[in-house]
Chain A
Amino acid sequence: MGNIFKINYLRNILIASLALGVVLPISVILFIYPSFNRLLIKDKQDDAVSIARHLAHSVVADQTELSRESLTNEIWHDIKGPIDDFGLKKLKIFSKLGEIIFSTDPEDIGKINKKSYFNDVVAKGKIYTKVVKKNTESLENQIVSADVVETYVPVIKDNSFIGAFEIYYDITERNKGFDKLISSSSFVLIFLAATLQAMIIIVLIKTGNNILNRKQAEKSLSESEERYRTAIENSNDGVSILKGDRHSYVNQKFVDIFGYESAREIIGEPLSKNIHPDDLQRVTDFALRRQAGESVPSRYELKGIRADGEIVYIEVSVAMTTYKGEAVSLAYLRDITERKQAEEKLQAVNLELDITNQQLENTIERANQMAIEAEYAYIELNQIFNSTADGMCVIDKNFNILRINNTLSNILDIKNEAINKKCYEVLECGICQGTKCQLTKALQKDKCVEIEIEKKINDSTMMPCILSAKEFRNPEGDIVGIVVNVKDITDRKKAEEEKLSREKFQGVLETAGAVCHELNQPLQVISLSSGLLLMDLAEDNPLYANIKRINRQVDRMGDITGKLITITRYETKDYLKGKIVDIDKASMEVE
Chain B
Amino acid sequence: MGAKEKHILKKILVVDDEEAIRFVFDLSLSEAGYDVFYAEEGEEALKILRGEDINVIFLDLNLPDMSGVELCRRIRKMKPDASIIAITGYASNFEIVECYAAGFDDYLEKPISLDLLLTSVLKAFKQVKEVAYS
A interface with B by C-beta (< 8 Å)? 513-514, 516-529, 531-532, 534-535, 551, 554-555, 557-558, 561-562, 565
CB distance from A541 to the nearest CB of B (A): 17
Given A524-B112, A527-B111, A532-B31, check contact A517 B25 (CB 8 Å): no
* Bound CA–CA A504/B75 (angstroms): 39
* Bound CA–CA A239/B37 (angstroms): 130
Q: Write 22 A-B pairs (CB below 8 A) sorted by A numbering.
A: A516-B90, A517-B89, A518-B89, A519-B89, A520-B90, A521-B89, A524-B111, A525-B20, A525-B24, A528-B24, A528-B27, A528-B28, A528-B117, A531-B113, A532-B24, A554-B111, A557-B111, A558-B109, A558-B111, A561-B90, A565-B91, A565-B92
Query: Digit string of B107-133 for contact with A (CB within 8 Å is 1, else 0)?
Result: 001111111010000000000000000
Considering the complex, give the chain A residue whose CB is closest to the CB of B23: A525
Considering the complex, give the chain B residue whose CB is closest to the CB of A530: B114
B18 contacts the other chain (Cβ, under 8 Å)? Answer: yes
**Which of A513, A527, A529 touches B112 (beta carbons < 8 Å)?**
A527
Kindly name the residue among B24, B31, B89 whose own CB sees the greatest number of chain A CB atoms within 10 A: B89
B66 contacts the other chain (Cβ, under 8 Å)? Answer: no
Contact A528–B90 (Cβ < 8 Å): no
Contact A524–B90 (Cβ < 8 Å): no
Contact A517–B24 (Cβ < 8 Å): no
CB distance from B30 to the nearest CB of A (A): 10
CB distance from A363 to the nearest CB of B (A): 66
Chain A residues whose CB sits within 8 angstroms of the CB of B31 once the complex forms: 532, 535
Chain A residues whose CB sits within 8 angstroms of the CB of B117 once the complex forms: 528
Contact A525–B21 (Cβ < 8 Å): yes
CB distance from A293 to the nearest CB of B (A): 104
Chain B residues whose CB sits within 8 angstroms of the CB of A535 once the complex forms: 31, 114
**Which of B90, B92, B113 touches A555 (beta carbons < 8 Å)?**
B113
The interface on chain B, measured as residues whose beta carbon lies within 8 A of the other chain's beta carbons, has a size of 23
CB distance from A561 to the nearest CB of B (A): 8
Number of A-B contacts (CB under 8 A): 79
Going nearest first, the 8 A-B pairs with the smallest beta carbon separation are: A531-B114, A520-B89, A520-B110, A523-B111, A528-B24, A516-B90, A527-B111, A517-B89
Chain B residues whose CB sits within 8 angstroms of the CB of A519 once the complex forms: 89
Contact A531–B20 (Cβ < 8 Å): no
* Bound CA–CA A551/B88 (angstroms): 19
Contact B27–A523 (Cβ < 8 Å): no
Contact A522–B20 (Cβ < 8 Å): yes
Contact B109–A528 (Cβ < 8 Å): no
* Bound CA–CA A528/B36 (angstroms): 15
Chain B residues whose CB sits within 8 angstroms of the CB of A517 once the complex forms: 62, 88-90
Chain A residues whose CB sits within 8 angstroms of the CB of B88 once the complex forms: 517, 520
Known: A525-B23, A528-B113, A558-B110. 9 other contacts (CB 8 A): A517-B88, A520-B109, A520-B110, A520-B111, A527-B113, A528-B25, A531-B28, A555-B111, A558-B111
Contact B109–A565 (Cβ < 8 Å): yes
Considering the complex, give the chain B residue whose CB is closest to the CB of A533: B114
CB distance from B54 to the nearest CB of A (A): 20
CB distance from A1 to the nearest CB of B (A): 142
Chain A residues whose CB sits within 8 angstroms of the CB of B20 once the complex forms: 521-522, 525
Kindly name the residue among B24, B27, B91, B110 whose own CB sees the greatest number of chain A CB atoms within 10 A: B110
Considering the complex, give the chain A residue whose CB is closest to the CB of B93: A566
**Which of B18, B25, B89 touches A516 (beta carbons < 8 Å)?**
B89
Kindly name the residue among A520, A523, A524 whose own CB sees the greatest number of chain B CB atoms within 10 A: A524
Chain B residues whose CB sits within 8 angstroms of the CB of A565 once the complex forms: 90-92, 109
Chain A residues whose CB sits within 8 angstroms of the CB of B90 once the complex forms: 513-514, 516-517, 520, 561, 565
Chain A residues whose CB sits within 8 angstroms of the CB of B110 once the complex forms: 520-521, 523-524, 558
Contact A529–B111 (Cβ < 8 Å): no
Q: Which of B17-70 contact A (CB under 8 A)?
A: 18, 20-21, 23-25, 27-28, 31, 62
* Bound CA–CA A527/B23 (angstroms): 13
* Bound CA–CA A523/B87 (angstroms): 13
* Bound CA–CA A534/B118 (angstroms): 15
Considering the complex, give the chain B residue whose CB is closest to the CB of A516: B90
**Which of B18, B91, B114 touches A521 (beta carbons < 8 Å)?**
B18
Contact A528–B112 (Cβ < 8 Å): yes
Considering the complex, give the chain B residue whose CB is closest to the CB of A514: B90
* Bound CA–CA A38/B83 (angstroms): 191
* Bound CA–CA A551/B18 (angstroms): 21
* Bound CA–CA A569/B28 (angstroms): 37
* Bound CA–CA A524/B25 (angstroms): 9
Chain B residues whose CB sits within 8 angstroms of the CB of A518 once the complex forms: 89
CB distance from A33 to the nearest CB of B (A): 171
Chain B residues whose CB sits within 8 angstroms of the CB of A523 once the complex forms: 110-111
Considering the complex, give the chain B residue whose CB is closest to the CB of A515: B90
Considering the complex, give the chain A residue whose CB is closest to the CB of B19: A525
Chain B residues whose CB sits within 8 angstroms of the CB of A513 once the complex forms: 90, 92
Chain B residues whose CB sits within 8 angstroms of the CB of A522 once the complex forms: 20
